[in-house]
Each structure stands twice: as C-alpha cells, then as structure tokens.
Amino acid sequence: MTVLTAEEVEKRFGYTPEQLDKMEADATAGVFHGEPSGPVVYAPGYGPGRPLMFDEEMKQVGFKEPVNKILLIDIRAAQLGMKRSEYLRHLVDEDLKLAGIA
C-alpha cells in the first residue's frame, strides 16, 4: 500500500488537506458534491462493494507468500498486462483445465 504525503496528494490530485477534510466532513454528513454519474446498483443480496463478476456466489480465497515472491508475481502479472488477482485466477484456471476438471 502506498501512503502519500499531503504535498503529494495536492500535487497529484489538486486537493489541499483542508479541502479533503471538508469533503470528508460533508460525506460523513451525507452531502456529496459533484454530479451523479448514475444510480447506485448493488448485486442481489449484497450491499455496497464490488459487483459480482460471475453468475454465482463467490468466496474469497487467500494465502500468504513471502514479500519477495509477491513482488515476482506482480512483475509477471504486469508483463502479461494483468493485475495480481487476474494473474492468479488465470493460473488456477489453466491448471484446472490441464487437470481436465474445468
């Protein structure tokens, strides 16, 4: 996770710390600035968050790896134009195909 300093946030996004504090206070109070881009849609049975990717319920799968290996995974995923999660899903899908069970 990358943590930006206040100066980096202002340079990258054009917001001062004071503006961000005001936006946070407004959002906490239920006041949202800007124009809506469309309705908020939730997947059936789910609240806010990422929409379903597939037509069936999903569960999170996780495991720990050494930081060095994660770096290598991220490098390989980037070489293939993928995010880490896409790359790991791809590896699982390919292995299941090879095993003849998918």
Q: ∠ CA(28), CA(60), CA(98), 5° rounding?
A: 150
Q: Rounded distance, CA 7 to CA 47, Å?
A: 34
Question: The dihedral of CA 24, 28, 33, 34: what is its sign?
Answer: positive
Q: By three-state DSSP, how is residue 77 classified?
A: helix
CA 7 to chain centre: 24
Question: Has residue 84 got a pLDDT over 80?
Answer: yes
Residues in the chain: 102
Mean pLDDT computed over every residue of the chain = 84
Q: What's the pLDDT at 45? A: 62
pLDDT band at 31 (very low <50, low <70, confident <90, very high): confident
57/9 Cα distance (integer angstroms): 37
Three-state DSSP class for residue 50: coil
Provide the percentage of residues in the chain whose pLDDT is more than 70. 84
Please report the pLDDT score of residue 51 as a whole number: 59
